[in-house]
Structures are given as C-alpha cells and as structure tokens.
Amino acid sequence: MICGGALCIERCACSQPKTATDNVVLLVLQYDIDSLKGSVPKDSDLEFTFLDSLLDATTAILAVDHEAVCLFVNDRCDESVLNILHKHGVKYIVLRCAGFNNVDLPTAAKFGIKVARVPAYSPEAVAEFTIGMLLTVIRKYHKAYNRVREGNFLLDGLLGFNLSGKTVGIIGTGKIGLLTGKILANGFNCKVIAYDPYPSPLAQGYGITYVDALDDLLKASDIISLHCPLTDSTEYIINDNSISKMKKGVVLINTSRGALIDTYALIRALKSGHVSAVGLDVFEREQAYFFADSSSKVIHDDSFARLLTFYNVFMTGHQAFLTSEALKNIADTTIQNLRNLEATGTCPNIVDKSS
C-alpha cells in the first residue's frame, strides 16, 4: 500500500512476491510511522514503505507493486491519480482521517478500488483543541507569552471577554461538534446553539439547542465554531453573504476543513472589523504548506500570507488531531480496515460515491 501525506506505502506481502523496495523506509513524520508500525499485529503480513511526498499525479507511480494506498487530508486522489493507481494494480485506498473529499469516489468505483476511512479517532482531541484555540484568540495567551519572554509585562492590548453567558453557534454536530458544545455549555456556562441538517438525539443532553435554519445561528452567535465535513453543500459555507448576517465582532473558529471558509471573504471581514478574531487550524489551500517546514521559503499564496499578518488571527498547522490517543486509534482502525479488505473485500468503514 502507498501512503501519501508524507507517510507511507504499504502492501500486503501475502499476495505478492517480495521486491527490493519492501523494507525501504524514509523517515519523515515519525509519529505516524511509529503509530502505524506499533499497531500491526505480530501475526500480520502487512508491510509498509514510507515516503516523504504527498500523493498526486507525479508521485502515484511510486505505488507500483503495492496493493493499497494510505492517504491523509492533503493527498490528492483525483481521476488522474486513480488512473495511475489502477494501472499499477492498487486495489484499496485507506484514509487516515474521517474526511474523504480528496478522493474521486465515482472514479474509484469505476476502477473497482475500495475506499475506507477512519470515521472517528479521537473526537476529544479535536474538541479540546478547539476550546484551547478559542480561549487563545479571546484571552490572547500567545501574545502574553511572547511579551513576558521579552520582559514586557504591560497588559495593554490583551483585553478579552468572558465565555460565560455568550452564545456559541456550532455548525455540524458530529462527535466533535457535540463534544465541543458539551464542554462550552457545561464547562463554561455558554448558551450553545447548533445547526445540522441531521440533528443528533444526544444534543439536548449535552446542553445544545438546535435552531431551524443556519441564518438563525449566524444572527444569534457571538462565537461560531465549524465542525462539518467538506462537501459540495458546505464548501464556502462562510462567505460574504453568511458573514454579513453575523453579529459585528463575531469570533470564528475552524478546526474542520479549510474550504469551509472563503478566505477572501474572511480577509474582507477582518479588514472591516466585522469579524473580531479568528482561530484556524486549517486553510483551504494548506496542502502547499502544511506538514512541512516552509520557514525558509516564500509563501506564494497571497491570501494565506495576508491572513498571517492580522494581529487577531491565530493559526496552527492542522494539529488538532495530534494526540497520542488519536494516533493510536487512527493506526488501529487503518490496520483493521486493511485486514478486513484483504480478507473479505469490504469493511465497516467503507465509503463510496453515495456517501
């Protein structure tokens, strides 16, 4: 199997003869390598080849002699990539994440390539990170840290506000959205409202109240946190029109998918002051920069560079998932998906064009 996202190529050695590349390992993201290797049962014949490049049309050829490809969020698996994978006999694509928007599912189905994902690894990891990011942007921890290290103990410019009593809107109430709402409602005494086309029966017990329409949430919320998947219907769900319906001074948090937000619309709202603070763990064109050291490079994406200049934007590099518990769950589920696919041709976490 080939794993992109600076990860690995794995294969099931049981069905193909060994080649000279079976045990080649390029150490890149050590935490992923360690977690995957640690989750392979002793009686398994799965073997990994680790690569340091994202999967795209130029790197897909590296999947030759492998049966499966393991992807992360920024790997590209469109029609051109799938054509190459199919040509070289790849049968399975396993995602180390819940989202699958980067895979062309109809084309995969046409080629008979099975696709599986990790539907839930550690919702607590992302929910807790979301709360930390929210507290950072409203209480300015990052700015205070830098000041104190420089011997500056002035409090000017560090004014924040209480979370208690504020209305927080949660867009998307899967496991992460529900847990985020629960922490805010029960831990911080927030009024938590939510919008989701498919309401969860757990929400009420978590202290979350659904609104009938997205516009209702936009108009009522002091803080809005995004927890929905990236689909055709949610792409740019935050845009000029939706921002215009929000309260002046609203705080936005996104730990889900970058393309939920129209970056240019967000920049306009920041410049006008309509949005007062933003926490982003994702960016719509992050694949060109995230999970790599670009400190000695020029950021050519002007909108990304512009975002980084705002004093009230706090950005991290897609790390909300990064806890030891989450990595173990991701690795365990990924390995189990592979074993099920090899044994039966399917698994409980299969995704297809109807998903």
Q: Any long-range contacts for 74-77 (C-beta under 8 Å, 24+ apart)?
A: 74/5, 74/102, 74/286, 74/287, 74/290, 74/291, 74/318, 75/4, 75/5, 75/102, 76/102, 76/287, 77/102, 77/103, 77/104, 77/108
Q: In what order do the strands lie in the sheet with 250-254?
A: 208-210, 191-195, 167-171, 223-226, 250-254, 275-280, 313-315
Q: Which residues contact 41 (CB under 8 A, 6 or more apart)?
A: 335
**How many Å is the maximal CA-CA distance in the chain?**
67
Residue in 11, 66, 96, 318 annotated catalytic: 318
Mark whether 124 is an active-site residue. no
Residue in 76, 257, 284, 342 annotated catalytic: 257
Mark whether 306 is an active-site residue. no
Q: Which residues contact 202 (CB under 8 A, 6 or more apart)?
A: 178
Residue in 10, 47, 286, 342 annotated catalytic: 286
Determine contact, residues 219/243, Cβ cutoff 8 Å: no
Mark whether 88 is an active-site residue. no
Catalytic residues: 257, 286, 318
